[in-house]
Amino acid sequence: MSLKQQTIAILVGVLALAVLPLTANTYWLRYSILILQYTGLALSWNIISGYAGYVSFGHVAFFGLGGYTGALLMLKLQTPWPLALLAGGVICAAFAWPLGRILLRLKGPYFAISMMGLAQVLRVIASAWQSFTGGGQGVSLPPENNLHFVYWGMLLVAAGMLYLTLRIDRSRFGLQLISIKEDEPAAEVMGVDTVSAKVRAFVISAVAPGMIGALYAWSLGYIDPASAFRGHITLNMISMTILGGAGTVWGPVLGGLTLSVISEELWARFPELYLSAFGGIVALSAMFMPRGIIAFWRQRQAKIRQHKGVTASA
């Protein structure tokens, strides 16, 4: 599909999905919000980790930071939710820029683990800074949220991220990111400003999680260190993107949709097994289909066809 066709597809999809809250009951609404939330997060993770190849094991840091930003603004300054949502994104971008300049100097695995540590440090700060964040008790918001607006907010953020990915995928910037993933020194020799490209990708991948975190805090009416910086949110981003196809436009959407449905079925009944299964998915996908399920399936089809061709001609 051409860029124009895909853009139209996204627009039609958003319009079709936008009417859903008018008919759905609360259960389906919460379910759809969850799917949109994880798809948006996976799309964000995909930019820095899928395209640029800098795997982040602590992207929940931005989700939590945005969540706290939004919640504290709404509680202390009575900020209206759309502004709190924007602030969540802005703060994350402002935080990610200097952070990226420091951490993205680290190569592959070092970056991965430094992000994991960052999420832990932010959690420690959120629980230790009693006077500002409410410590381990967390922040309770006045219960005046509206699930319809949460849904539309999530839809906008996720669709915006999808459109942005589509644009990046077809751009010079996208090619620069891929060249960094393939061979960073070579990219540099070819004249790519790798530092600037990496930092931009990092900032882009931090904004949506911040906004989603703020929406999440608003929809729950509550945020605490344990729920804001839960490791399994990072796990979801990674497993969804890897399964669907890291470094592709539609991979995180496919993975987000599939795994959200699976997790909803498993989560209520066997929470530990559900996380185990996601861990297994990450390990198996990375081992056997590092380019995701679509590429894997296409490759198999091509092989089968080739095989048939060989036997037919023989």
Partner 1 sequence: MTQVLVNGLLLGGLYALAAAGLNLIFGVMRVINMAHGEFLMLGAYVTFYSFSLLGLSPLVSLSLSMLITFGLGWLLMRFVIRRVIGAPELMSILVTYGLAVLIANLGLFFFEGVFRSVPAYSGSIPLMGLSVSKSRGIAFLAAIAISTGTYLFLKHTTLGKAIRATAQHAEVAVACGIDVERVRFFTFALGAALAGAAGSLLITFLSVTPSIGGVFILRAFAICVVGGLGSFMGALGGGLILGVFESLVAFGTNTQIAEAVAYFLLIMVLLVRPQGLLGVKE
Which C-beta is closer to partner 1: that of 18 or that of 195?
Answer: 195
Q: In the bound complex, what is the minimum distance in angstroms from residue 8's beta carbon to partner 1?
A: 35
Q: Which of 18, 20, 75, 113 binds partner 1 (CB under 8 A)?
A: 113
Which C-beta is closer to partner 1: that of 32 or that of 241?
Answer: 241
- Any idea what DSSP says for residue 12? H
Count of residues that bind partner 1 according to CB under 8 A: 42
Q: In the bound complex, what is the minimum distance in angstroms from residue 280's beta carbon to partner 1?
A: 5
Q: Which of 3, 11, 105, 301 binds partner 1 (CB under 8 A)?
A: 105
Residue numbers 47-86 binding partner 1 by CB under 8 A: 53, 55, 57
Which C-beta is closer to partner 1: that of 95 or that of 152?
Answer: 95
Which C-beta is closer to partner 1: that of 201 or that of 238?
Answer: 238
C-alpha to C-alpha distance for 79 and 164, rounded to whole angstroms = 27
Q: Which residues contact 177 (CB under 8 A, 6 or more apart)?
A: 47, 51, 52, 53, 168, 197, 198, 201
Using CB under 8 A, which of the segments 115-123, 150-158, 191-199, 253-261 binds partner 1? Answer: 115-123
Which C-beta is closer to partner 1: that of 145 or that of 227?
Answer: 227
- Any idea what DSSP says for residue 248? S
Burial class (CB in 10 A: 0-12, 13-18, 19+), 178: middle
Which C-beta is closer to partner 1: that of 3 or that of 128?
Answer: 128
CA-based max dimension of the chain: 78
> Quick one: CA dihedral 202, 205, 209, 212, positive or negative?
positive
222, containing H or E segment: strand 222-223
- Any idea what DSSP says for residue 136? G
Which C-beta is closer to partner 1: that of 73 or that of 119?
Answer: 119
Kindly provide the residue ranges of all beta strands, DSSP E only, lying in 38-182, ordered along the sequence. 139-140
- β-pairing, 139-140 with 222-223? antiparallel
Residue 101 Cα to chain centre, angstroms: 21
Phi/psi class of residue 138: alpha, beta or left (left: φ > 0; alpha: ψ in -120 to 50)? Answer: left
Q: Which of 8, 77, 124, 190 binds partner 1 (CB under 8 A)?
A: 124
Q: In the bound complex, what is the minimum distance in angstroms from residue 128's beta carbon to partner 1?
A: 5
Residue numbers 238-297 binding partner 1 by CB under 8 A: 238-239, 242, 270, 272-273, 275-276, 278-284, 286-287, 290
Which C-beta is closer to partner 1: that of 29 or that of 125?
Answer: 125
Residue numbers 13-42 binding partner 1 by CB under 8 A: none
Residue numbers 144-203 binding partner 1 by CB under 8 A: none
Using CB under 8 A, which of the segments 78-86, 121-129, 185-193, 199-207 binds partner 1? Answer: 121-129
Contact 290, 284 (CB under 8 A): no
Rounded (5°) CA angle 284-243-261: 115
C-alpha to C-alpha distance for 23 and 20, rounded to whole angstroms = 6
Which amino acid is present at 310? V
Q: In the bound complex, what is the minimum distance in angstroms from residue 187's beta carbon to partner 1?
A: 15
Q: Which residues bind partner 1 (CB under 8 A)?
A: 53, 55, 57, 102-103, 105-106, 108-110, 112-114, 116-118, 120-121, 124-125, 127-128, 231, 235, 238-239, 242, 270, 272-273, 275-276, 278-284, 286-287, 290
